[in-house]
Structure 1
Amino acid sequence: MFYTLTEEPVSTTIEYHIIYSHEDAGTPAPLLLSKWGRLTDIEWTYRVVLDAEGVVQEAVYQGPHHVTSRFRGLYGLGGLPMLQAATDNGMVTDIPDSSYRFLLAPVMRWEPHREPRERIMDAFPFTYPMMAWEALRHERPEVPANPATTALADPRCYLYVQTSKMTGRPEQNQGTSIDIRVKLKDDDRWYSSSFGDLRLDGFRAAYDGPYPQFSTTVKLYDGIALNRIERIEAVLLPVGAGAITVKGLKAFFLGPDYLPERPLIVEGEWKLSRRRPSAPLWQALQPV
């Protein structure tokens, strides 16, 4: 569990999020990797507003069907809200009927304007093998990995990417998407994080949510490594803001033990627009 903190002159809002190993319903596993850059399920669970004296003014939770509901449940263990998993995809209820009790301490503050949620996974890297074990228990991976299909491959076959899509106006973040494309050495093809802006039954493979910082993956091959990559670029996709800034790049593969390997980190800033929709985020050094 982690949290966000918003401080105002007369109030403080704390929102708690939980990382689940996987989800048993909702987005298909291969598209989780494309849209969210992970197979874990991360959900905001409980949000509380405190006044200047620390007294609760409002408390809500994320109920079934992603409905924000007022918390009317019981408190225990010194005033903590009692919630229970209610769906196959991480929603909760304030009417628990189980005798089990789990107390998760919030391990880290997340700052959405500075980093994607997956930085919490990076800080606690055991979450990556946990993610892989759970997914492979549920799914039969494609062998060998074929980047031309959306089928789930072994999680070690994907390039994990963290970057941003900053519109300058937060209300424009929703619906704005970029594609991350990768070119390998000695290979003329480009490999797309969104499978060419795939749309499937109303679902968009590219991330088009409200957060400016986000994660995605690019499906590649078995036994892939960073030294095989020649170029990484970002492309502004149709719909949404007509001009954005892409700031920063972090890219890595999972090693044999499913733990993140040493990442490629680029501290850059690139402008994308309808007139110039693409920009190289990283280019391998060419031999002299």
Structure 2
Amino acid sequence: MGSVEVDLAAASTMELVNALAAITHELAARNAPDSPAACMDIAETLAAATDRQEAALAALIGRVDAAGEMRRWGLPSTQAWLRTRLGMRETRARERITLARQRHRLPHVTALLATGELSYGYATTVADAVARLDDEDCAEAETVLLDMVGQGFSAGKLASFGRRIRDVIAERDGTDTRYHESRRGYERSWITSTRSLDGGRYIKGWLNAEDTAVWDGTLGPLARPAGTDDRRDLPERTAAALTSVLAGGHRATKVTVICDLDTLTGATTPGRLTDG
């Protein structure tokens, strides 16, 4: 059993990380206490400490990502670095990258995570919700979502609000447009689309029963998983199916080739198309 002595104020970042590594190595080798109550208390303390470590990790990942340092080591992206060198699953890597990239736009979230007043789960949920917002909406969204955290909303519930954060902000500010949309009635389908800052597009709308049948009949088969290694979720597969339909790629292409019977049995006479 070793010992760790470190002057927290004077130690470098690497010295602190080495001390932490030694402590966690010793901790992982120990058996859990016999008392379930003690285990519960220790687990909560350890989880809070882990969240603060995530705050430090987000800062490190952010610096590597911004500088493109991983490319000097032959890795094409930050996500590839996290997957190969840190052994993260793809979803976990994306989650950490999003938090790292949004830290500078979420000062309150960043500070609360670093002090242990906000869990990593909440922090990543907020970061994911604001990733495609402009700076003004991002600041408002941070305020709204942190207020929900203070009201006791779970991370899962927060994520559902985050997916429609623009509507939540509009409802809070009294600029909600859903009333005007409801005035359209439920006879005619409608769709609105707006450009996002990264060149993408947000789509929102409603389909009546007839158009829903067309939607399901056309996109349903195309949105099925492409195989066991298809990691896309249903919304991602649906978007890909819609794009395929819009591009005309869903239509089967038929080509008629005329050839002699001898060609099918080994002759070298070439086939020909119907137009010669």
The answer to which structure has the higher strand fraction is 1
TM-score class, shorter: under 0.3
TM-score normalized with structure 1 length: 0.23
TM-score normalized with structure 2 length: 0.24
The answer to which structure has the higher helix fraction is 2
Larger Rg: 2
